[in-house]
Amino acid sequence: MVAVVDYGVGNLFSVEKALTTLGADVRVSGEESDLRAAEKIVLPGVGAFGDCMKNLTATGLIPALKEMMAQGKPLLGICVGMQILFDGSEESSQATGLGYFAGQVKKLNAPGLKIPHMGWNSLSIRDYAPLFSGLTAQSYVYFVHSYHAVPQDSSIIAATADYGEKLTAAVVKGSVMATQFHPEKSGDVGLAILKNFLRG
């Protein structure tokens, strides 16, 4: 079973639909027991970093999520669900992230380009990133964001994209992986990425 964390934010049901399309047994839930019973967890997120952390804190799930990530349970963060896995964000300076990935989330530096970055963009994929197994080097995915993560350790970056600057599109460390883009909105490429997560 794959648990999609329900904490009042995110594209819960579009993520659920995409995973169900791939044949996964999916449960959208904010219950700790469901997360612990799941083989894999998906942490979505849409909106402001601070709001997402406030809502997640209110669920009481943070200690359990940290414990399960530390124990090696596979987890996929999506969009702001990726950002809150870092230490903090310029968007919400008073909010503390989950801190699984060391680093900060910073506003995009894209002079002359529209912010938020919204639409399709190609990925530059690191050869060893299993999340992108079978994809071509210039696969296109769908972004909607104004901030991106800047990891302390660049070796965890699994893919980048260019939008005014080179931005972090995906990270992987241990059994935890995350994408700034929305795989559930990225057509066949997105489904292939989610399929790799389910297989991994």
Closest CA to 181 of 8, 52, 11, 67: 11
Q: In sequence order, what DSSP letters do the residues of 160-199 get, joined into one string?
A: EEESSSEEEEEEEETTEEEESS-GGGSHHHHHHHHHHHHH
* From 52, 79, 91, 145, active-site residue: 79
* From 52, 145, 148, 184, active-site residue: 184
The one-letter amino acid code at 20 reads T
What is the rounded CA–CA span in Å between residue 32 and residue 5?
9
Would you say 164 and 100 are in contact if contact means Cβ atoms under 8 Å apart?
no
* From 117, 145, 148, 182, active-site residue: 182
What is the rounded CA–CA span in Å between residue 12 and residue 198?
17
| Chain centroid offset of residue 100 CA | 12
Active site residue 52: no
In the sheet that holds 124-125, the strands lie side by side as 26-29, 2-5, 40-43, 75-78, 176-179, 166-173, 157-162, 124-125
Active site residue 32: no
* Extended strands (E) in 11-52: 26-29, 40-43
Catalytic residue list: 79, 182, 184
